[in-house]
Amino acid sequence: MKQIQDILKKNSLRANKYERCGKVITIDTKNGKYVIKSKKNNQDIFNYLVTRNFNCYPDIIDNDGHYEITRYIDNIDIPDEQKMNDLITLVANLHSKTSYYKELDDAQYKKLYEDLSNNIEYLKEYYNDLITIIDSKVYLSPSEYLFARNYSSILSAIEFCDNKINEWYKKVSSLGKARVSVIHNNLNLSHFIKNNSDYLISWDKAKIDFPIFDLYKLYNIKFKVGEDFNDWYYVYVKDRDETTHCSEINKLWWIKNRMLLYWQDYSCDISFSEDTNLVSIWDKTD
């Protein structure tokens, strides 16, 4: 607390009230509200954002020492659907303004390909063993019956992933460069603030990487609550040059593969249905 008081004194701020929420401290002063949190080594990211004319983050008052002070921004309450739409539009703008091309690391792609191919093989064996156990039973529980009824659909989804991973690897193996950008790397509706402008907060994990990873994490969140990601994806690519996305669109196998991991986590305690969500995206972008 003494360190925080020293930072406030340094910036001529006097706290009237402290409020802690997790790792963040909100401070009321006569000059307004501020947020103090532990500093992360991401100043290079903010410096780059400035050069690219992207300023949709809270004003940084002080980031010396071990803490960072930013100006507090009030959040306007809007429906989650509209909030998601605005968030993806903002993220698309972030990626567009900060993107450039870099040489591909063949070894990195090969390792990703091998790791995920191994995951697919593991899932095939996992579900094969599961159906073998179920087939040996005379009477099935409701969850076992549900799994057996949808076993062929699960295998089809696995084969879809397997085929797309192989297609993806062939394509990236022939590329010399790939598009990268600043990614927030921690996207969530709670990290989006609506005010006079739109803002992203919690930049602690931000880095230079493939833009698809931001969408991948968002997809995980929306899939968990059973929402269709297609609409959000088309918001992301709207009014943008499709050719810019060709290489990263072919990385959407990450998303499909993650769906299989969810199925494994839930075992047979979920209701399976034919998923055409990502398939439709592939059909329109291949």
Domain architecture of the chain: domains with CATH: 2-72 (3.30.200.20), 82-285 (3.90.1200)
Average pLDDT (101-106) is: 81
Which residues, 6 or more positions from 131, have their beta carbon under 8 angstroms from its beta carbon? 147, 148, 151
pLDDT of residue 197: 93
Q: How far apart are CA 162 and CA 121, in angstroms?
A: 9
Q: Which residue has the higher pLDDT, 35 or 241?
A: 35
Residue 25: strand pairing partners: 20, 36
Average pLDDT (69-76) is: 91
Q: Which residue has the higher pLDDT, 7 or 27?
A: 27
**For the segment 44-57, what is each residue's pLDDT rounded down to a tens digit?**
999 999 999 999 99
Average pLDDT (76-100) is: 93
CB 43 within 8 A of CB 70: no
pLDDT of residue 225: 52
**Polymer length of the chain:** 286
Average pLDDT over all residues of the chain: 79
pLDDT band, very low/low/confident/very high, at 255 (cuts 50, 70, 90): very low
pLDDT band, very low/low/confident/very high, at 82 (cuts 50, 70, 90): very high
pLDDT band, very low/low/confident/very high, at 184 (cuts 50, 70, 90): very high
pLDDT at 250 over 70: no
pLDDT at 69 over 80: yes
Average pLDDT (218-232) is: 68
pLDDT at 223 over 80: no
Most confident stretch, 28-37, 188-197, 225-234:
188-197
pLDDT of residue 254: 52
Q: Which residue has the higher pLDDT, 112 or 273?
A: 112
Q: How far apart are CA 11 and CA 213, in angstroms?
A: 37
Share of the chain above pLDDT 70, in %: 79
What does the angle CA 282 – CA 191 – CA 36 come to, to the nearest 5 degrees? 150
pLDDT at 278 over 60: no
- 3-class DSSP string for 91-155: HHHHHHHHCEEEECCHHHHHHHHHHHHHHHHHHHHHHHHHHHHHHCCCCCCHHHHHHHHCHHHHH
CB 262 within 8 A of CB 268: no
Q: Which residue has the higher pLDDT, 159 or 7?
A: 159
pLDDT of residue 49: 96
pLDDT of residue 243: 45
pLDDT of residue 273: 38
Nearest CA to 251 out of 156, 178, 176, 154 is that of 178
Torsion of CA 193, 97, 238, 166, to 10 degrees: -110
pTM of structure: 0.75
pLDDT band, very low/low/confident/very high, at 226 (cuts 50, 70, 90): low
pLDDT band, very low/low/confident/very high, at 240 (cuts 50, 70, 90): low
pLDDT at 224 over 80: no
Q: How far apart are CA 207 and CA 241, in angstroms?
A: 23
Helix axes 151-173, 142-149, angle to 10 degrees: 50
Which residues, 6 or more positions from 81, have their beta carbon under 8 angstroms from its beta carbon? none
